[in-house]
Amino acid sequence: MPVETIDTLVVGAGQAGIAVSEHLGNSGVPHLILEKNRVAEAWRSGRWDALVTNGPVWHDRFPSLEFKGNDPDEFVTKDRVADYLEEYAQMVNAPIRTGIEVLKAERLPDQAGFRVETSEGVIEAKRIVAATGAFQHPVIPPIVPETAGVKQIHSFHYKNPSQLSDGAVMVVGAGSSGAQIADELNRAGRKVFLSVGPHDRPPRRYRGRDFVWWLGVLGLWDMAAPNPGTEHVTISVSGAYGGQTMDFRRLAGEGVTLLGLTEGFDNDTLTFRDDLQANVAAGDANYNEMLDAADAYVDRTGLTLPEEPEARQVFPDPDCLSNPIRSVDLAKEGITTIIWATGFRQDFDWMKIGGFDDKGAPIHQRGVSVEPDVYFLGLPWQSRRGSTFLWGVWHDAKHVADQIATQRAYLDYDGQAAVVSSAAE
């Protein structure tokens, strides 16, 4: 049986794979996308039921297609995003095969290209684009043993309050996922504890503009990638309930107990660092820096945007912030569930090739690997702050596709232009 061949094999049919397919198609690059589940599966089956986008859809979309039927300032549901990505894939005629898992990719011996083993056979490709994104494997830190008698789940697997056993809930991690889940559980009448680590806390809106607009006009979306190892910055922002600033003092005033960074566990008791006040203060500073930058921009440009002095008003300090709690006895507080909103790790173990550092992270420049003919998409800070957003990955995908088209053009050159007649002839 002959082995199927393709110029460029894209692994993953989420936003990254669909985006690069558009650009590869525009450049005439033959390609194939393999997806082990459904198109945009992470948006459908991952995360909680009530999740909405953290940015309004006038901004968080691909340039060539609007969210039809949605208000531009709307924060749409995760299922709507998945439907949008399917619409986009159909619009650009993305050659997607679903239900096929890529098991291993390795270089062909003594020739260019790769041998790729899949759940449905072998494919040989000249190039590989790993478009598996930034959120591959949920990470639960090894702090609380499984024998502790409390249910532990990652935020990726949380669906809704009714999914959980009766009792109080400990949420660890105060980025967008952790803060929103804590808010939802508190609104549902649960007793909630929230472990707050270092974070950025931008205003949802200021002076009549959403913070994504402010990041744009201030040039902050295009911030260059930071040094390796410092890429991840926890950002607490929410599109839930029409969009709101995630203010931890407000959450505490509504009943959530704030705690510092989760540090350890012993004798049914979780312990926390004495850093809650510092973490909240740093988040406040980040919030005020954005307001200051926005005010300065308005003054500099003469824009007519309404002043908003109330944005600088501060909720009263709750007792849990004034007098931080350093330990919590799970049984005493009736905590039956711990939700770990503690991020993800990437997994490229299927790529049996070079080009990775000692931690397994790709060594690349804007998604172009140091390993020839290997490319990545959807990495955090791949080229800029916005690289994991829909519009950001679209621009990264264009760069990657352009690099692939350039390499193909070089290989199409037959050398004849370099033949120069001898001056003696």
CATH architecture for the domain at 4-136+346-412: 3-Layer(bba) Sandwich (3.50)
Burial class (CB in 10 A: 0-12, 13-18, 19+), 300: exposed
Taken as a whole, the chain contains a residue count of 425
List of residues 6+ apart from 275 with CB closer than 8 A: 197, 198, 260, 261
- Reading the block at residue 190, the tokens are 């649960």
Which H helix or E strand runs over 398? helix 390-412
User: Minimum mean pLDDT among 90-94, 267-271, 404-408, 419-423: which range?
Assistant: 419-423
Pairing of strands 209-210, 205-206: antiparallel
**Rounded CA separation 288/312 (Å):** 8
Taking CA atoms, 255 is separated from 169, 245, 249, 332, in Å, by 12, 17, 10, 18
User: Residue for token digits 């948006």?
Assistant: 43
The average pLDDT across 44-71 equals 94
Task: State yes or no: pLDDT of 258 exceeds 90.
Answer: yes
- State the DSSP code for 338: E
**Rounded CA separation 383/363 (Å):** 13
User: Minimum mean pLDDT among 70-74, 284-288, 363-367: which range?
Assistant: 363-367
Q: How many CB atoms lie within 10 A of CB 370?
A: 12
- Note whether 4-136+346-412 and 139-340 share their fold: yes
Q: Under a CB-based contact definition with an 8 Å cutoff, are residues 208 and 148 in contact?
A: no
For the chain, domain boundaries: 4-136+346-412, 139-340
SS3 117: strand
pLDDT at 419: 54
Q: Phi/psi zone of residue 167: left (φ > 0), alpha (ψ -120 to 50 degrees), beta?
A: left
With helix as H, strand as E and coil as C, how does 212-255 read? HHHHHHCCCCCCECCCCCCCCCCECCECHHHCECCCHHHHHHCC
The average pLDDT across 203-221 equals 95
Mean pLDDT of the chain: 93
pLDDT at 387: 87
CATH architecture for the domain at 139-340: 3-Layer(bba) Sandwich (3.50)
Q: Under a CB-based contact definition with an 8 Å cutoff, are residues 118 and 128 in contact?
A: no
- Reading the block at residue 307, the tokens are 């002043």
